[in-house]
C-alpha cells in the first residue's frame, strides 16, 4: 500500500510542521511581526485556493471573491463579538453563510459566461460591500471591533483541511466533471455532466472556504471595515490565482505565499501595491501566460524527477 504509506508520511510531516511553529510561537521565538505575516500567508492561501476551484478548475471567471470573504468575516464577527458565541461555531457559520451566498450567486449566473459572468460576480462583491457600509449594526463605514481569536492552530487546521478537500475533490470523478465544464460546457453536458449542479457546487465549496478565511481574517486584525472587501481585494486574489497558473493548486499556494511576503513590505504604501499587482498581471500575461506552474502541480514535477532517476 504505497498510497497509505505516502499519506502517513505526509501526515507526519504536516504534524511536525505544525508542532515546530507552535513550539516556536509558545517559546516566543517568533515575534508578532512574523506571526502576523504567517497568518496573512495562511489567509491568502485560503482565498487563492478557494478561488482556484472556481476559476482554475471549473473555468468560471469570478471576480467577486472578496464578497464571500466579507460575508464570512462579518457573520463570524457578529457571532463572537455581538452575540458572545464561541469561535469554532462562528468559523463554521461563516463558511456556511458564505456557501449560501455562493449558491445565491451561482444559480442566477449559470446562464452567464466569460465577461458577463465576471461582471455579475463583480456586482455581487460590490453589493455586499455597499450593504455592509449601510448597516449600522455592524458599524457602517467605521466597521467593527473584533476580538483577537485567530491563532496558528485554527488557521493551520483550516488551511490543511481546505487543501485536502479541494485536492481530493479535484482528483475524483466529480473533479473531472468540473474540469470538463472548464474545457467545453456543451461537450460536458453531452457526456452526462449536470453542469448546473457542478457549477453551483464549485461556487458553494469555493465560497465556503473563502468564508472561513473571512472568519480567520476578522479575528486576526482586530477591526473589519467594508472598505477592505472591495474590488481591489477581489482583484488581489485573482492576481494570485493567475500568477500561480490557472488550474494549478500548488501554483495558487506558491503565489499566495510570494505575494503575501511582498505585501508585508509594501504595507505602508497601499498605492504601490496596486501598481505592483497590475504590473505583475501584465508581466505574467506577456511573458508567462500559463503562470508560475502552468496547470501542473508540484507533485507532477517531483514525479518527473523521480521517474528520471529510476
Q: For residues 71 and 48, give the distance between their C-alpha atoms in angstroms, rounded to a whole number.
A: 17
DSSP string, 54-117: IIIIT------HHHHHHHHHHHHHIIIIIS---HHHHHHHHHHHHHHHHHHHHTGGGG--HHHH
Binder among 12, 88, 190, 282 for another protein (CB under 8 A): 190
Contact 273, 289 (CB under 8 A): no
* 141 vs 191, beta carbon nearer another protein: 191
* 22 vs 195, beta carbon nearer another protein: 195
188 binds another protein (CB under 8 A): yes
Helix (H) or strand (E) holding 122: helix 114-133
Contact 120, 9 (CB under 8 A): no
Binder among 2, 27, 83, 186 for another protein (CB under 8 A): 186
Task: Compute how many other C-beta atoms are within 10 angstroms of the C-beta atom of residue 169.
Answer: 16
CA 225 to chain CA mean position, Å: 19
Binder among 201, 210, 212, 293 for another protein (CB under 8 A): 201
* CB of 63 vs another protein, minimal distance in Å: 22
272 binds another protein (CB under 8 A): no
Binder among 172, 272, 278, 299 for another protein (CB under 8 A): 172
Contact region with another protein (CB under 8 A), list: 114-122, 180-188, 233-241, 263-271: 180-188
* CB of 175 vs another protein, minimal distance in Å: 7
Binder among 41, 77, 159, 180 for another protein (CB under 8 A): 180
Contact region with another protein (CB under 8 A), list: 71-79, 151-159, 183-191, 248-256: 183-191
Binder among 75, 97, 177, 224 for another protein (CB under 8 A): 177
Set of cell numbers at residue 32: 508578532
Query: Which positions from 121 to 160 touch another protein by CB under 8 A, shown as an x/- string?
Result: ----------------------------------------
DSSP-derived pairing of the beta strands 223-224 and 144-145: antiparallel
According to DSSP, the residues that pair with 223 across neighbouring strands are 145
* 193 vs 254, beta carbon nearer another protein: 193
Which positions ≥6 away from 175 have C-beta within 8 Å? 57, 169
Query: Number of residues in contact with another protein, rule: CB under 8 A?
Result: 28
Burial 57-88 (b: 16+ CB within 10 A, else e): bbbbbbbbbbbbbbbbbbbbbbbbbeeeeebe
Binder among 9, 103, 127, 187 for another protein (CB under 8 A): 187
Whole-angstrom CA distances from 75 to 202, 271, 296, 308 are: 21, 29, 36, 50
290 binds another protein (CB under 8 A): no
Binder among 23, 34, 116, 184 for another protein (CB under 8 A): 184
* 56 vs 125, beta carbon nearer another protein: 56
Set of cell numbers at residue 226: 467594508
Q: List contacts with another protein (CB under 8 A).
A: 164-165, 168-169, 171-177, 179-180, 183-184, 186-195, 201, 247, 295
Amino acid at each position: 500500500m504505497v498510497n497509505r504509506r505516502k499519506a502517513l508520511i505526509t501526515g507526519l510531516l504536516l504534524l511536525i510542521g505544525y508542532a515546530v511553529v507552535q513550539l516556536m510561537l509558545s517559546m516566543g521565538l517568533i515575534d508578532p511581526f512574523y506571526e502576523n505575516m504567517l497568518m496573512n500567508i495562511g489567509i491568502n492561501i485560503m482565498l487563492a485556493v478557494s478561488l482556484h476551484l472556481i476559476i482554475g478548475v471549473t473555468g468560471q471567471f469570478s471576480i467577486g471573491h472578496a464578497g464571500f470573504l466579507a460575508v464570512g468575516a462579518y457573520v463570524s464577527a457578529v457571532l463572537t463579538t455581538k452575540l458572545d458565541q464561541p469561535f469554532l461555531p462562528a468559523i463554521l457559520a461563516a463558511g456556511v453563510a458564505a456557501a449560501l451566498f455562493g449558491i445565491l450567486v451561482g444559480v442566477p449566473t449559470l446562464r452567464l459566461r466569460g465577461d458577463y459572468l465576471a461582471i455579475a460576480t463583480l456586482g455581487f462583491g460590490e453589493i455586499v460591500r455597499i450593504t455592509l457600509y449601510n448597516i449600522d449594526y455592524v458599524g457602517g463605514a467605521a466597521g467593527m471591533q473584533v476580538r483577537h481569536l485567530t491563532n496558528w492552530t485554527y488557521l493551520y487546521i483550516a488551511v490543511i483541511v481546505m487543501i485536502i478537500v479541494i485536492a481530493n475533490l479535484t482528483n475524483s470523478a466529480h473533479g473531472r466533471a468540473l474540469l470538463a465544464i472548464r474545457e467545453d460546457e456543451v461537450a460536458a453536458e453531452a457526456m452526462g455532466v449536470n453542469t448546473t449542479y457542478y457549477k453551483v457546487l464549485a461556487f458553494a465549496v469555493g465560497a465556503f472556504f473563502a468564508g472561513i478565511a473571512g472568519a480567520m481574517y476578522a479575528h486576526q486584525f482586530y477591526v473589519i471595515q467594508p472598505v477592505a472587501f472591495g474590488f481591489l481585494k477581489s482583484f488581489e486574489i485573482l492576481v494570485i490565482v493567475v500568477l500561480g497558473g490557472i488550474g494549478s493548486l500548488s501554483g495558487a499556494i506558491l503565489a499566495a505565499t510570494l505575494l503575501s511576503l511582498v505585501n508585508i513590505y509594501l504595507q505602508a504604501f497601499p498605492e504601490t501595491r496596486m501598481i505592483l499587482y497590475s504590473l505583475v498581471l501584465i508581466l505574467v500575461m506577456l511573458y508567462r501566460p500559463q503562470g508560475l506552474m502552468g496547470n501542473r502541480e508540484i507533485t507532477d514535477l517531483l514525479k518527473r524527477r523521480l521517474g528520471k532517476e529510476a
